[in-house]
């Protein structure tokens, strides 16, 4: 099997499946009867988002935005917008779907940007979160797992573009 070198499994695919189904069910309950846009942040969220939306049993819209802030295995501190959002979010409820909240630089940028688009509400869904690294206090409304300040890959998360296709989440030494 395709496994990263110098790595150990942090979350097995079975545990991931379970947590994703649980989040999907919670979102289904919370957004019944509302107009929901699920907004994935590319590229890291695409695997999580693909699984998650199939556990949301509602008539939703799915959109993407592409942002980048990481340089190899560390945060560059600034955010680049590679593909902007063209959809009108006015009167729509939005859930931002992120692979991981690390420093929160990307999330700060996105929350500020969405404010200007007049959505009915904005919530945050993150597969992973590193609370010890957050630079502000964030409310993560839907969260898979909390992790320590370590570098992880797999299930959409990459190191220099690689390992996004790994089924488990691995901790790697870089
Ligand atoms: P932030 O802006 O510092 O919160 O970083 C967010 C982005 O950095 C995430 O969406 C990921 O793409 C990337 N990132 C942060 N930590 C990791 C990690 O451990 N592995 C892979 N990518 C990461
Ligand atoms: Mg990302």
Q: What is the 3-state secondary structure (H, E, C) of 94-132?
A: EEEEEEEECCCHHHHHHHHHHHCCCECEEEEEEEEECHH
Residue 76's pLDDT band, with cuts at 50, 70 and 90, is: confident
Residue 54's pLDDT band, with cuts at 50, 70 and 90, is: very high
The pLDDT assigned to 26 comes to 98
Nearest CA to ligand 1 atom 15: 102
> Of the residues 8, 81, 100, which should be mutated to test ligand 1's pocket, given the most ligand atoms within 8 Å of the CB?
100
Number of Cβ within a 10 Å radius of residue 34: 12
Nearest CA to ligand 1 atom 9: 100
Pairing of strands 169-172, 7-11: antiparallel
pLDDT digits 0-9 by tens, 1-53: 789 999 999 999 999 999 999 999 999 999 999 999 999 999 999 999 999 99
pTM for this prediction: 0.95
Catalytic residues: 102
Helix (H, G, I), strand (E, B) or coil at 83: strand
Q: Is the pLDDT of residue 72 over 80?
A: no
């Amino acid at each position: 099997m395709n496994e990263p070198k110098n790595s150990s499994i942090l979350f097995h695919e079975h545990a991931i499946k379970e947590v994703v189904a649980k989040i999907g069910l919670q979102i289904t309950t919370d957004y019944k009867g509302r107009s929901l846009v699920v907004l994935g942040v590319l590229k890291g969220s695409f695997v999580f988002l693909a699984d998650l939306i199939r556990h949301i049993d509602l008539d939703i819209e799915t959109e993407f935005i592409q942002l980048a802030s990481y340089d190899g295995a560390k945060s560059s501190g600034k955010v680049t917008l590679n593909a902007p959002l063209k959809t009108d979010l006015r009167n729509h409820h939005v859930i931002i779907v992120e692979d991981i909240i690390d420093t929160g630089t990307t999330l700060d940028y996105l929350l500020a940007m969405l404010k200007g688009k007049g959505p009915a509400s904005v919530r945050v869904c993150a597969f992973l979160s590193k609370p010890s690294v957050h630079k502000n206090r964030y409310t993560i409304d839907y969260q898979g797992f909390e992790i320590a300040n370590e570098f992880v890959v797999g299930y959409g998360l990459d190191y220099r573009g690689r390992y996004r296709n790994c089924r488990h989440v691995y901790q790697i030494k870089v």
